[in-house]
């Protein structure tokens, strides 16, 4: 009985996660959605090629701010920046970044960050909505 219920729970979990995966679609769909979020929310400052607009808005190309710690990256998107925190190769970037926690949902942030981490010559791992959700929970 006990084994049965454990396997039932397991089965349900697998079913749910595969359903979840189907809803998310593959990487191609994620990148397409991410590009849309990027075009609507990020492109004004960070530009279509991700090069930003130095010395105001930082580039997203091959920088540790984008390729490094995912939690820190997610937090920047959720909470924004005052300006001046980002330094790349000795250059500071002074325009503030608006907090997007109430504008974008977990899925949109995950899609946009996956797009950024896999575009402009970047090739880092994907960001999942669960990862965004986890960071969001710690900063509320």
Partner 1 sequence: MKYSKYLLIFFTASSFLVACGNDSTKAKSGPLPAGDDPRLVLPDGFSALRIIKDLGRARHIAVSANGDVFVKLDKLYNGKGIYRLHDSDGDGIADDITGFGDYKGTGIAIKNGYLYASSNSEVFRYTIDESSGRVDEGSKKRIITGLVDQGQHNSKSIALDNSGNIYVNVGAPSNMCQEQDRVKGSPGKDPCPLLETAGGIWQFRADGQDQSYKESVHYATGLRNVVGLDWNTSSNDLYVMQHGRDMLFQFYPELFDQQSGANNPAEEMFRIKKGDDCGWPYCYFDNEKKQKLLNPEYGGDRNKVGRCEDKNHSILQFPGHLAPNALLFYTGNQFPEKYQNGAFIAFHGSWNRSPEPQAGYFVVFVPFKDGMPSGDWEVFADGFAGPNINKAEYRPCGLAQGPDGSLYVSDDRNGSVWKITYKK
**Stretch binding partner 1 (CB under 8 A), from 1-9, 17-25, 58-66, 91-99:** 91-99
Query: Counting contacts by CB under 8 A, is residue 84 touching partner 1?
Result: yes
- Considering only residues 10 through 39, tell me which ones interact with partner 1, judged by CB under 8 A: 39
Residue 72 CA to residue 135 CA, distance in Å, equals: 9
Nearer to partner 1, 61 or 126 (CB): 61
Query: Counting contacts by CB under 8 A, is residue 95 touching partner 1?
Result: yes
Nearer to partner 1, 48 or 130 (CB): 48
Q: Tell me if 93 sits within 8 A of 57, measured CB to CB.
A: yes
Least Cα distance to 47 among 108, 95, 101 occurs for 95
- Burial class of residue 69 in the structure, from the number of CB atoms within 10 Å of its CB (0-12 exposed, 13-18 middle, 19+ buried): exposed
Query: Counting contacts by CB under 8 A, is residue 88 touching partner 1?
Result: no
Instruction: Write the CB contacts of 43 (distance below 8 Å, at least 6 apart in sequence).
Output: none
Nearer to partner 1, 53 or 63 (CB): 53
Residue 124 CA to residue 114 CA, distance in Å, equals: 8
- x/- mask, partner 1, residues 34-73, rule CB under 8 A, reads -----x---xxx-xxx-x-x-xxx----------------
Angle CA 52–135–59, to nearest 5: 10
| Residues in touch with partner 1 (CB under 8 A) | 39, 43-45, 47-49, 51, 53, 55-57, 80, 83-84, 90-92, 94-99, 103
């Amino acid at each position: 009985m006990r084994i049965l219920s454990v396997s039932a729970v397991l089965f349900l979990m697998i079913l749910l996660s595969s359903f979840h995966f189907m809803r998310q679609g593959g990487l191609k769909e994620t990148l397409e959605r991410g590009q849309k979020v990027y075009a609507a929310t990020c492109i004004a400052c960070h530009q279509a090629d991700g090069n930003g607009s130095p010395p105001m808005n930082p580039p997203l190309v091959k920088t540790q701010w984008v390729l490094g710690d995912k939690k820190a990256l997610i937090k920047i998107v959720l909470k924004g920046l005052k300006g001046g925190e980002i330094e790349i190769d000795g250059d500071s970037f002074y325009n503030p970044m608006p907090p997007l926690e109430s504008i974008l949902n977990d899925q949109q942030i995950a899609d946009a960050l996956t797009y950024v981490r896999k575009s402009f010559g970047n090739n880092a791992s994907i960001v999942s909505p669960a990862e965004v959700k986890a960071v969001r929970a710690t900063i509320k």
